[in-house]
Amino acid sequence: MATCTVPTIPDKTVTGDSLYGPRACWQEFIDWAWYAHGFQQTYWDDGFGYEDCCNTDLPLARIFGSMWLLNYSADDYWNEDWSNNCLHWARRYVRDQINDLRSLCGDGTAIARSVSGHVELYLGCFYSKDCAGRAETLLHESRHLGGKPHDANFPAGSVFGEGKSGADSTWDYEGAWMYGALYLWWFYADGRRTTTALREAARQRANLVIDNAFATHPGFTIA
Ligand SMILES: [Zn+2]
């Protein structure tokens, strides 16, 4: 593994790691999640957490916590039918798409990337996003693997970089940004086994995506 430095760790109550970390620290869950998402050990050892997988200072435990959130936030979470809302099927979609999951340093701010069939998560995912935000990233990258690349440039004033590629054209394109925002929206609206603060943070993140990641604004925000 390349050498990179863990940044200052944000307040774990705010990011949800103090809530979800202990929940994910459960051997059966870890074994299941590890194989279900194709974690590649060589990318998760040497400081990324393989030897210390319940330590929420480290990337691996932080992604396990977000996977717990992704899997158990619907009221009837075992009901994964596509006809239900996104809170139910997102976990199934992520599981279906991601078969090779890697952790890398990135440049410090980079979040994630899907490339030639695998997903790379960078330090920005583990340390700049909360647990719901990391679940958003997993779903976003899964949508890329599912065959939806970004098809537009970011709009004027976008926090993601005005005029740069990486946006989706419209909400109806049903691309990676839409999937991520939809998940956060449902987590805000009906997320269970979580806190009001984390749900509110998901609403704010979803609105940030809605306002900045579509070439044509969807025309709504989440009130
Ligand atoms: Zn993307």
89 C-alpha to center of ligand 1: Å? 19
Res 23: pLDDT: 98
213 C-alpha to center of ligand 1: Å? 10
Res 6: pLDDT: 84
Res 2: pLDDT: 55
Give the confidence band of 1 by pLDDT, cuts at 50, 70, 90. Answer: very low
114 C-alpha to center of ligand 1: Å? 8
105 C-alpha to center of ligand 1: Å? 18
pTM: 0.97
141 C-alpha to center of ligand 1: Å? 6
90 C-alpha to center of ligand 1: Å? 16
Res 5: pLDDT: 84
37 C-alpha to center of ligand 1: Å? 18
214 C-alpha to center of ligand 1: Å? 12
150 C-alpha to center of ligand 1: Å? 6
103-127 residue pLDDT tens? 999 998 899 999 889 999 999 999 9
4-31 residue pLDDT tens? 888 899 999 999 999 999 999 999 999 9
60-98 residue pLDDT tens? 999 999 999 999 999 999 999 999 999 999 999 999 999
70 C-alpha to center of ligand 1: Å? 18
Tokens matching residue 144: 């890329």
216 C-alpha to center of ligand 1: Å? 17
130-165 residue pLDDT tens? 999 999 999 999 999 999 999 999 999 999 999 999
107 C-alpha to center of ligand 1: Å? 16
Mean pLDDT of 177-190: 98
23 C-alpha to center of ligand 1: Å? 29
Torsion sign across C-alpha atoms 148, 83, 76, 79: negative
